[in-house]
Amino acid sequence: MKTTPLHEQHLALGAKMVPFAGFDMPIQYTSITSEHLAVRGLAGMFDVSHMGEFWIRGPQALEFLQYVTLNDVSKLKVGRAQYSMLPNASGGLVDDIYVYRTGETEYLMVVNASNIEKDWLHLKGLIEGFDVELENASEFFALLAVQGPRAAATLQKLSDTDLLERKKNDTFMAKIAGKWARLARTGYTGEDGYEVFLAPDEVRVVWKALLDADVTPCGLGARDTLRLEAGFPLYGHELTDETIPLCTPLAWVVKAYKTFHGKEAMMGRPCVQKLVGLTLETGIPREGYPVVKDKAKVGYITSGTHSPVLKKGIGMAYVNTELAETGASLEVEIRGKTVSATVVETPFVQ
Amino acid sequence: MDYPETLRYSKSHEWARQDGDMIAVGITDYAQDQLGDVVFVELPSVGKTVAAGNSIAVVESVKTASDIYAPVAGEVVEVNAALADKPELLNSSPFEDGWMFKIRPSQPGELDTLMSAAAYRQFVESQ
C-alpha cells in the first residue's frame, strides 16, 4: 500500500486509516460530523497528496489540451485554473480534472488518484501529432486542501504574499511557513479556501504550522460529505466511462463550439436519464439504492449521505429525464421500503 | 474501549443484559467506535418474533448502514423511542441511554451462550 508524506502525522493524530486508490489514507481523525462542521464554520485541512499531477508543456500544449478536455482552455490566462473533464472516444468520461495554466506554454493537470494510470495511458495515446511533452509528476507533489471561511485568513498569517485579494481559480507561487508552494484558490468542499502544492519533503512543516494555527485535520469521510452537500460529483460514482456529461448539472463544462476527442459520439447520445439532487423525508440514501415512482424503478442513487448541515438524507441520482425536474416527488427504496424524496437544485448547502 | 463485566456479547458486536424477565440489547463501545457518528436508527416493531441471529434493526452512521442482529430468540416487547430524535446516544452512551430494544426470550438460558466480557474483549482484540 502506498502512503503520502504525511502518513506518520495521520497515525500520530490517531486517524482511522482506510485503503483508498492504493493509498493508506485517513478517513477520520475524530468524527466525520465534527470535521465537516469545522470546514463549514472555520477551517479544515485535508491531505490529498494521493491525487495525480501531470505537466503538459510545449508549443502545442494549448492545442493538445483543447483536444483532450471539454472546457475551453483558450480562455485560461496564465495564473488561472478551470474545472474540466477528459472525454473518451465513445462520448463518456475518462476522468474529471482541474487544469492550471502555470506559464505561457505550461499547464498542470490534477487528476483523481484512482485514475492516474488510466488518464496517463489515455493522454499518451492521444499525443501523436502534437508538439507537447507530458510528465507524470504525481510523486513530486504533496497536496493540502485548506478549506473553510477562515482558511485564507489563516494561511495569510503564514505568508508574506497577499492571499486575501486573490480570486477563485487564481493560481500562483508563494511561500507558506517558509516553504515555496503553488497555491490555487480552489477546492472540493463548497467553501472558500486554497489548495497548496508542496514538495513532499516540505509538506510536514506546513501541516504542522496549520495544526498550530488551529486548522482542523479532516479525513476522506468529511471530504465526501462536504463535496456531496456542495453538489460536486465524484468520479466512479456520478461520473464513469459511460457518463454523458451533457446529462448532468456539469453540462456547462462541455464547450460544443470547439473540437474535442469523441465529440461526435457525445453529441449524438440522448439523455435517457439525468443526474439530479434528492433530499429525503427520512432515512439515508446510499449508492445503488433504486429510485422509484408508482412502484416502477426510474433511477438509482450514485452517492448519498446524511447531511450534517441540513440534518437529513441527501443524495445524487440518475433518474429518467421526464422526472428530473426540480420539485418532482419521487421515492427511494431503502431495505425494501420506500421513502419520499424530492428533486432539488444543487448545491444542497449554499 | 469499555467492556462492562455484567453484559453478554455477540460476535456481531451487540451486547445483551438481563432486565427482569426481558433482555435489553444494544451495540458495543467497539461497534459505535467503528461506525462513527450514528445519524439514523431503524428499530424493529414491538411484537415482532425473532430467532437468534436474525437481522432486526439497522444503524446508520454518516459512512454506512449496518445490520443489527438479535442475540437471542424471542419477542420484541419494547424499543428505545428516544433514538428517533437522538441516534447519537449510541455513540455517547452505548451501554446505557443508547439501548435499542428489549426481547422477551423464548429460549431460557440462551443469554448464557453469548460471550463474557473477557471473551468478547479477546475477540475484538484479535480482529
Q: What is the pLDDT of residues A24-65, one digit of tens each?
A: 999 999 999 999 999 999 999 999 999 999 999 999 999 999
Residues of A in contact with B62 (CB under 8 A): 32-33, 221, 225, 305-306, 308
Is residue B127 predicted with pLDDT exceeding 90? Answer: no
Instruction: Name the residue of chain A whose CA is nearest to B39's CA.
Output: A306
Contact flag A283-B36 (C-beta cutoff 8 Å): no
Contact flag B62-A306 (C-beta cutoff 8 Å): yes
Do residues A151 and A166 touch, judged by C-beta distance below 8 A? no
Average pLDDT, integer, range A240-268: 97
Is residue B26 predicted with pLDDT exceeding 90? Answer: yes
Is residue B108 predicted with pLDDT exceeding 90? Answer: no
Residues of A in contact with B58 (CB under 8 A): 335
Number of A/B CB contacts below 8 angstroms equals 36
Q: Is B42 near chain A, with CB under 8 Å?
A: yes
Q: Which residue has the cell 489514507?
A: A25
- Alpha helices, DSSP H only, in chain A? 7-12, 32-41, 61-68, 116-125, 151-156, 203-212, 220-229, 263-267
Cβ-nearest to B63 among A32, A283, A313: A32
Banded model confidence at residue A68, pLDDT cuts 50, 70, 90: very high
Average pLDDT, integer, range A264-273: 95
Cβ-nearest to A32 among B37, B58, B60: B37
Q: What is the predicted pLDDT for the residue at A212?
A: 98
Looking at every residue in chain A, the average pLDDT score rounds to: 97
Cβ-nearest to A306 among B39, B42, B58: B39
Shortest Cα–Cα distance, B81 to chain A (Å): 16
Q: What is the pLDDT of residues A192-246, one digit of tens each?
A: 999 999 999 999 999 999 999 999 999 999 999 999 999 999 999 999 999 999 9
Do residues A255 and A71 touch, judged by C-beta distance below 8 A? yes
DSSP symbols for B70-107: -SS-EEEEEE-GGGGT-TTHHHH-TTTTT--EEEEESS
Q: What is the pLDDT of residues B56-80, one digit of tens each?
A: 999 999 989 999 999 999 999 999 9
Q: What is the predicted pLDDT for the residue at A124?
A: 98
Q: What is the pLDDT of residues A100-141, one digit of tens each?
A: 999 999 999 999 999 999 999 999 999 999 999 999 999 999
Residue A61 burial (CB < 10 Å; 0-12/13-18/19+)?
buried
Cα A212–Cα A218–Cα A223 angle in degrees, nearest 5: 145
Is residue B48 predicted with pLDDT exceeding 90? Answer: yes
Residue B104 CA to residue B114 CA, distance in Å, equals 16
Contact flag B36-A32 (C-beta cutoff 8 Å): yes
Shortest Cα–Cα distance, A232 to chain B (Å): 17
Q: Is A203 near chain B, with CB under 8 Å?
A: no
Residue A350 burial (CB < 10 Å; 0-12/13-18/19+)?
exposed
- How distant, in Å, are the alpha carbons of A48, A179, B60 from that of A142? 7, 12, 34
Do residues A253 and A243 touch, judged by C-beta distance below 8 A? no
Q: Amino acid identity of B6?
A: T
Q: Is B86 near chain A, with CB under 8 Å?
A: no
Cβ-nearest to B36 among A31, A284, A335: A31
Length of chain A measured in residues = 350
Contact flag A221-B63 (C-beta cutoff 8 Å): yes
Shortest Cα–Cα distance, B63 to chain A (Å): 7
Q: What is the predicted pLDDT for the residue at A54?
A: 98
Q: Is A33 near chain B, with CB under 8 Å?
A: yes
Banded model confidence at residue A169, pLDDT cuts 50, 70, 90: very high
Q: What is the predicted pLDDT for the residue at A345?
A: 96
Residue B85 CA to residue B65 CA, distance in Å, equals 18
Q: Is A98 helix (H, G, I), strand (E, B) or coil?
A: strand
Q: What is the predicted pLDDT for the residue at B87?
A: 97
| Nearest Cα residue to B106 out of B22, B8, B32 | B22
Residue A160: left if φ>0, alpha if ψ -120 to 50, beta else—which one?
Answer: alpha
Residues of B in contact with A305 (CB under 8 A): 62
Residues of B in contact with A225 (CB under 8 A): 62
Q: What is the predicted pLDDT for the residue at A325?
A: 97
Q: Is A18 near chain B, with CB under 8 Å?
A: no
Residues of B in contact with A27 (CB under 8 A): 63
Q: What is the predicted pLDDT for the residue at A296?
A: 98
Average pLDDT, integer, range A263-287: 96
Is residue A247 predicted with pLDDT exceeding 90? Answer: yes
Residue A8 burial (CB < 10 Å; 0-12/13-18/19+)?
exposed
Average pLDDT, integer, range A150-179: 98
Looking at every residue in chain B, the average pLDDT score rounds to: 96
Q: What is the pLDDT of residues A87-99, one digit of tens each?
A: 999 999 999 999 9
Residues of B in contact with A33 (CB under 8 A): 37, 39, 62
Cβ-nearest to A28 among B36, B39, B40: B36
Q: What is the predicted pLDDT for the residue at A350?
A: 83
Q: Is A269 near chain B, with CB under 8 Å?
A: no
Residue A293 CA to residue A176 CA, distance in Å, equals 53
pTM: 0.94
- Alpha helices, DSSP H only, in A157-231? 203-212, 220-229
Contact flag B58-A27 (C-beta cutoff 8 Å): no
